[in-house]
A and B are shown apart, each in its own frame.
Chain A
Amino acid sequence: MIDLEKVSLHFPGKNGFRLRDRLAGFFSGATAQMDDDGVRALHEISLTIRTGERVGVIGWNGAGKTTLLKTMCGIYTPTEGRVQVEGDVASLFELATGFEMEASGFDNMLTRALLLGMSRSEAQAALPAIAEFTELGTALERPVKTYSFGMFLRLAFAVSTAIQPDVLLLDEIVAAGDARFQAKAQERLDSMVENASLVVLISHDMETIRAMSDRCIWIESGEVREDGPTEAVIRAYAGAVA
Chain B
Amino acid sequence: MVPVKGSPGEILVAPRKQENFQQTLSIAWQLARLDLVRRYTSTGLGMLWAILSPLGMSLVIGAVFAKVFDQGLAEFLPYLFVNLTLWAFFVACLEGGAIAFIAAEGYIKQVPNVSLAAYPLRMAFGAFAALCFGLFAATLVTVVLGGTINASWLSILPALGAWLIFGIALASLSAVLNTMVRDFTYVQTVGVQALFYATPIMYPPQMLVEHGLSWLLTFNPVYHLLMLVRTPLVFGDLPPLSHYIASAIVLLLLVPLAIVALRRSRSSVVFWL
Contact = CB atoms under 8 A, between A and B. Distances in A.
Interface string B1-33: 100111101111111111000110011001100
A193 B9 CA distance: 18
Contact of A129 (B9, B34, B113): B9
Interface stretch (A19-27, A48-56, A207-215, A224-232): A19-27
Given A22-B272, A26-B265, A114-B30, A75 B14 contact: no
Q: How large is the interface on A (under 10, 10 to 19, 20 to 34, 35 or more residues)?
A: 35 or more
B271 A16 contact: yes
B246 to A, nearest CB: 28
Given A75-B112, A164-B15, A22 B181 contact: yes
Nearest to B2: A164
Contact of B4 (A19, A125, A187, A195): A195
A4 B10 CA distance: 34
Interface stretch (B88-96, B102-110, B229-237): B102-110
B15 A117 contact: yes
A187 to B, nearest CB: 6
B23 A117 contact: yes
Contact of B268 (A25, A103, A129, A192): A25
Contact of A164 (B13, B106, B107): B13
B4 A32 contact: no
A115 interface: yes
14 contacts: A22-B181, A25-B268, A32-B271, A70-B112, A76-B271, A88-B15, A97-B106, A98-B109, A99-B106, A100-B38, A102-B34, A111-B30, A111-B34, A164-B15
Interface of B: 1, 4-7, 9-18, 22-23, 26-27, 30-31, 34, 37-38, 42, 106-114, 180-181, 183, 264-268, 270-272
Given A11-B271, A115-B18, A192-B6, 20 more contacts: A31-B267, A32-B271, A73-B112, A75-B108, A75-B270, A76-B270, A88-B16, A93-B110, A94-B110, A100-B31, A100-B38, A103-B38, A110-B30, A114-B23, A117-B15, A120-B26, A133-B9, A164-B12, A191-B7, A191-B12
Closest 3 CB pairs of A and B: A98-B106, A77-B267, A164-B4
